[in-house]
Amino acid sequence: MSAAKTSFVCLPCRASFKQPYDPDRPDRICPNCAGPLIHVGSAFAAPPRRDRAAWRVLSVLLHAGVGFHKSCCGGPGYRPRTLREIRQRTTHARRSGEPLGRALVRYDVP
């Protein structure tokens, strides 16, 4: 039986790769640009390469430490999909003092 595969992304190339997860080999290299790949999780669905706004949203999420890992009861939960949703949650985090990673995964912004 083979190991389960998980997703890795290269933000500069806007490319996603499914590879077996090996905790002993955390550093992966992009086959296109030789840059580092970021582990995003097994519940990740890559946006189309030409959709720059979606990749920008993904970049903000990943740099804030938000991943796409499955939980025991289902998928990763709510993730913003537009730059407007990102701006709303970033403003909320700044005003309330809530950590950005937690504010980004809120379904509703108060």
Over residues 2-36, the pLDDT tens digits come to 568 899 999 999 999 998 888 888 789 999 999 99
* 22 half-sphere exposure, CB direction, 13 A CA radius: 7
Domain ranges (residues) in the chain: 5-104
Say what the pLDDT of residue 74 is: 60
Residues 6+ apart with CB under 8 A from 59: 11
Q: What is the model's pTM?
A: 0.85
Residues forming a β-bridge with 7: 18, 41
Model confidence band, residue 69 (pLDDT cutoffs 50, 70, 90): confident
Q: Count CB-CB contacts under 10 A for residue 93.
A: 19
Q: Are 20 and 39 in contact (CB under 8 A)?
A: no
Say what the pLDDT of residue 75 is: 64
pLDDT above 70 covers a percentage of the chain that reads 92
